Amino acid sequence: MKVSLYLIGIATTIAGVASAANVWSGTNLYYAAGLSASQRASYFSALQSAGMKVLRVWLDGQTSASTKNTPITSYGDLEASSVGTYDDTVLKLLDTVMVDARKYGIKLIISMHSYNALSRPDIYGQWYGTGYFYEQTAATNGFDNRIRHIMNHVHTSLGRPWKELSDYIFGFEAQNEAMIGKGHDYILAHSGWQCDRAKVIKDTLGPGPKILVMTGGASWMDESVNDTLLNCPYLDVVSIHAYGTGDYSTSAIQPYVTRAVNKGKKLLFQEWGACYYSSPNERCSSATPLSATVRNNNISNWAKQIAAAGVP
């Protein structure tokens, strides 16, 4: 969850499988659009040295000049004052990010909105709240236009729309952790929203270069992966978010891998983490710090367990 990404004690990783034997790794940075040229060079060099292949980025505005103690160029929401009125600043900033990333062999996953922004509230939250946003036709029509606007944004230096930039973009997802604040039952009842948005993405991509259509995870394994998503013909990848250590066990993951393989879907362990503190991993509230040895062992052991299930 993005809340967990804010916590100092959480280190997040994403990794995915095209099949149970094909693995790779990457990471998340929600304020990547605000990094300077020197920051990007240092960051991407470190990711490349760690063998990472993908960076997942957000479009939510960051209005502070310092985020996570990192000085950044602040930028506003894509739709700040009205649904359908676009300020492309964040898209233009990410134009530069993706060009620099490619120099280091890294592609982007573009998360086109987040529940965090909705509940902040951004303009969608102000107009529709966190329920009607997923339920009312006016809200979904406005949001679908947002998706099309993003994907048809013409890159400032490459001169081509994002939807054609498969050398730079690994995947598109409609929303980070859609409906996460609404509860498990609501998510299951409204997962068709995800499939409908996936159709818009797939239709906008057209028959051109292959960019994957993905979900943006949820609170834990069972919320992230459900039958509606696995049966959706427009989704290529179902993403998993999990911070509870029970979801890291090989035996807990394997049934989901089997279900995904049977439905012809890819799974992506998009967010998981190891807490800095001795508090429960999924909450990571301030407590006595764990030793570096324990933290490193946690990361290593949990990664091995996840990898053993075929979703590293």
Distance between CA atoms of 179 and 183, rounded to whole angstroms? Answer: 7
> Quick check: 15 pLDDT over 50?
no
pLDDT in the model for residue 20: 42
pLDDT in the model for residue 4: 29
Distance between CA atoms of 198 and 183, rounded to whole angstroms? Answer: 21
Mean pLDDT over 240-266 rounds to: 95
Average pLDDT, the chain: 91
- pLDDT cut 70: percent of the chain above it: 93
Least trusted range by pLDDT, from 60-64, 191-195, 227-231:
60-64
Q: Of 220 and 4, which is predicted with more confidence?
A: 220
pLDDT in the model for residue 154: 98
> Quick check: 141 pLDDT over 90?
yes
Q: Of 163 and 310, which is predicted with more confidence?
A: 163
Task: Dig out the tokens for 157 from the structure.
Answer: 């230096």
CA-to-CA separations, 235 to 25, 174, 224, 229, 240, in angstroms, rounded: 20, 11, 13, 7, 14
Interval 36-48: pLDDT, tens = 999 999 999 999 9
pTM for this entry: 0.92
Neighbours of 85 (CB within 10 A): 10
Interval 276-303: pLDDT, tens = 999 999 999 999 999 999 999 999 999 8
Residue closest to 59 by CA, chosen among 111, 133, 98:
111
Least trusted range by pLDDT, from 22-26, 231-235, 265-269:
22-26
As to burial, measured by CB atoms within 10 angstroms (0-12 exposed, 13-18 middle, 19+ buried), residue 219 is buried
pLDDT in the model for residue 209: 75
Task: State the DSSP string of 281-302.
Answer: TTT--S-SBPPHHHHHHHHHHH
Which residues are CB-neighbours of 210 under 8 A, at least 6 positions away? Answer: 166
